[in-house]
Structure formats: structure tokens, C-alpha cells
Chain A
């Protein structure tokens, strides 16, 4: 099996899926499971040395470890999430289209990761974008898709412009060749770096390009939110790595003004990443919708990824890649668990739920593990990556960024706890009494993902060693590991040891909890206030206005969305104005315009 065959195969499969789905929705949705799993199998069997395959026209792929890493991550997410698809067939308005686009977006991402030439990369990038874009409105929002696509296209076009700037200078679209030449054209290079950086930011959902993320992730069908958050945003990370690690960015910037020993541009990027962490965290805290909450957490996590990539050293880059993987798995799992709850209850609003732990304990556990990983708490994979990043930040002495990262980590406790307590803990609502645990084929993938989070949190070194090889491929010193421990700048981290400690602590806590269990469960309807029966207990549900005191602190925060809305309104106004001027006319006005134009052009001729 070659990459070309896999990519083309997936694209063909997407069409086949459509046709099959038209005949049988169920069979079609099974294909969406088989597709990524078979592809994943091939990747795992062939390993990172997988053959690229002969080119078809311009479609030429080159095997890289980086691409392999990203592809496998993506395939795990797609493969696991796909198990949910059969359950959603009845809920979707256009199930056949969903299945087709699901596979097509996967094909897009895989194709993009292995492209050797910019245009091919761009083609697959756009395929991934528009395929996923069409799925989003199958969920709750129509505007989300448009916002997603518009922002994404903004990024894509910035990228495209950069591609063509390089093409204009070097006459080629070959990625390695063109990026290799960049250092010879510093002015172009800086523009290219900025434009491609913007593209990466947009795709990854970095502030201030993050607004599409909560809209899209929060409103996409429940089966697709995990893909968006776990998978597709990572395209941005891929582009970011391309900009910083593959392109000779540091070489280009070596003569530029430096802050804290870093080129100013890099430092600005770090600041923006830090803002992302803070904004993402703060916004996540105040979300009532679990899916939006996770989406905002993705914004914060993207900040970590960008920090790691931007610093581009041994620890940071490996941390970034580890985080890409860990976050992909964890956020996919988290979204899936919310999806499972939604499957049973029909809502994802925290305030409308509660006590789901009683009905869906496995789902609860999956969610718990995922958010622990996302918050960077041992013993999950997310902890490893954050530890590496903190190590790198500390070694650079970047205290400000470090502080932001720390704030993000603390804040994440707050926001992950909100659904945990509001949605899973607390009182069960009467209308959810009949709710059962998620069906088995939804449970299996969630458990697998949680297992992965846990496994690489405990034994990350297999993965880290591979990341080290990728780093070497990218020309950065690889991360080094010793047995089960990871070499940091100021010490070793042995995740296994950490896990054992945490495990012991957890066991202790569990024993204490069980032995001291004297509390009584009180039904939600069994509530009195001032000796008065509460007829609408929902108002007093404790998940309602969960963090009201904290939220009040930044109640009147400036809203970036308003800024974008303003921008769109300006476009609309301008359009209206133009239409008014040119079209609300009588023939005489048009004649006047014609005369005026002729005069102006002739005048121009006279002046120049």
C-alpha cells in the first residue's frame, strides 16, 4: 500500500460511500468506520517508511515521518469517532452526504500531510475544509458553517498568496525546494512567514482568529465535533510546523530585533499564543454548553501548541507534537462523551443536565480521563506535553508566557470541573430517569481513546522516541528518553513513577470515599427553600450560573465577535451603498457615470 493509493482510495471511497448510503444508510456509515480503520492499519503495518507511490498527474506524495505522525493521529480520531456515525444516521438531514463528506475530509487531511508540492497541499487542505464545512450545518447552526468557511478561507488565501509569492520568486511549487530557498529572499520570506503563520493561526483557532471554533465545534453534529476539535484544527499545527521548522524561519529572522533572545516576530507569536491560552480559558469557564466549553479549551490548547512550535527547540517542539497528539485524542474523547450524553438526552447544555454519572458511568469515566489529560494533569498524556513545554519556557526564561501557560492550566481545572460537576455529578433531572448508558459501540471507541490518553501518559517514550526522529527529520535535536523517563532541561520526568504515585493516591481516596459514605442522595424534586416547595427546581439547579462569581469578574469583557460582526456589517453596508449608487438609478445617472469615467480616464492620461 502506498500513500497515493490510500489517498486516492479514500477519495474514491467517499463517492462509494455516498452511493452505498443512498441504498442503505447503515452500510454507508459502516464504511465510514472501515475506511479510516483500514487506512490506519496500513499506516501502522507499513510504518513511517511507507512508500509514497507513483504520482498521478500532479498528485505526488512524499513519505515523511511528520506526515505519518499527523496522519496516524488523524486516523485514530476519525476511526474512533466513526463508531458513532451509525447511531446518528437517523438524526441527520442528509445522511448520505454526511458519510461522503466524512471520508472526503479525511482524504483531504491525509493528502495534505504528504503533499510534496504546495498546490497539492492546498488542494487537499481545501478539500478537507469544505468537506467538513458542509457537515457543520447538519448540526444546530447554519451561520457556524459560513463563519468557519469564511475564516478558514481567509487563512487559506493568506497561505495561497504566500505560496504564490514564493512561486513568483523561485518559480516552483515544490515545498522543500521553495522553503529551502527562502533564506535567499529575506523580504519575501518575512511576508511568507507572516502569511503562512496567519493561515496556521486561523486553522488552529488562535486568538483573534478563534471565533469560528466555538461556533463550529459547538454547533456541529455531535459526531463531528470530535473530528473538528481533535482532528481538523491540527491542520493548523501542521502548517505552523512547516513555517517554523521546515522553512528556515530562524535563519531568516536572525538579523531582526530580538526580545528575550528571540526574534521579535517569534516573540509576538508567543504573546499571541499566550493571549489565546488566557482568552480560551476565560471563555471556556463561562460556557454553559459543554461542547462550546471544550471548543474554547481547544483555543487555549492551541496556544500551547503554538508556543511549542514557535520556540522550535528540542523540548518545545517535542512538547508541541506530544500535545498535538494528546489533545487530539483527549478532546475527541471528551466530545464523544458529551455526544454520548447528547445521544441519550438530546442536549449538551450543562444547566439542562445533571447526575448523569448515575446513568452513564463509563461515559463519565471517559470524560474524566479526557479532561484530566486536557488540563495537563498526571497521569495523562496531556501532562507529558505540558511538562515539556514548561521545561522549554523555563529554559528560555519566558516568564510572562509561562505565567499565561500556568494561568491556562489552573483555569482548566475550573472549566473542566464545570461539566464534570454540573453534567455528570449533581442531581439527576426527573426527565432523565429513563436514560441508559451509551450503546456498546459508542462505548468502545471512547474507552479506546481514554486508554490511549492514559497509556501515553504513563508510557510516553515509545511515542516520544518517534517524535525525536521527526525532530531530526526537521533538523531539530531529538528529544531524548531514558528507559521510562524523559530528559528535560532541569531534570528527568518519569511518567510511570508519576502514574504509580497518582494511582496510589487515587486508591487511597477511593477507599476513604467508600468507607465514609454517609451522605444521602437527594432527588432534584425533593427541594425546599424557606420551607416552600420549589415548583421550578431548575432555577435552583446548582449547575445553573455555575461560576457566576468568577464570571462576574470579567462580565463586560471586550467581545471579539462584535469586532467581526462589525467588519461583516461594513462589507454589507459598502455593498448596499455601491448598489444604491450604481443601481438605484435612472438611465441619466448611468450616462452621467459614463461621462464622468471617460473624463477621469482622460484626465489621468493628461496628468501622467
Chain B
């Protein structure tokens, strides 16, 4: 039961972010929403690890976290350079 509530919240967060991704209006707004979504996804992977009782998902979450960070700063750098 609880799991539905949890995933319901996660889904709401995800959907709202996604709406922002679609709406923009500026490119940076979309990037911000991507960044937010990445955090949500990282959290979701952790949730899945618990759900599937598989510690290996945490490795994935860590790697995802690192890569998401990289993505964010690359885009930020790019945006910054492209005034």
C-alpha cells in the first residue's frame, strides 16, 4: 500500500519536472528540470534496490549520480560559454 503512495509522490515530482522540461521557457529552465529529474531518478533507483532487495542497484545509483552531476556541469558550462 505504502509503496503506491511513495511512488505516487515520486511520479508527481517527476511529472511536474517533466512539465517544466516541456514548458521551458528558457533552455536553462529545461536544464534545471533535467537536473531535478536526475536527482529524483537517483532516489528512485535506491527505492528499486530496496524493492528488489538487491544491493547491486546502489552501485548503479552511485554511478548515475556521478554521471548526472557530470551532465549538469557540462551543460552549465556550455550554457555559460554560449551567452
Judge A-B direct contact (beta carbons within 8 Å).
no
Binding site for A on B (CB under 8 A): none
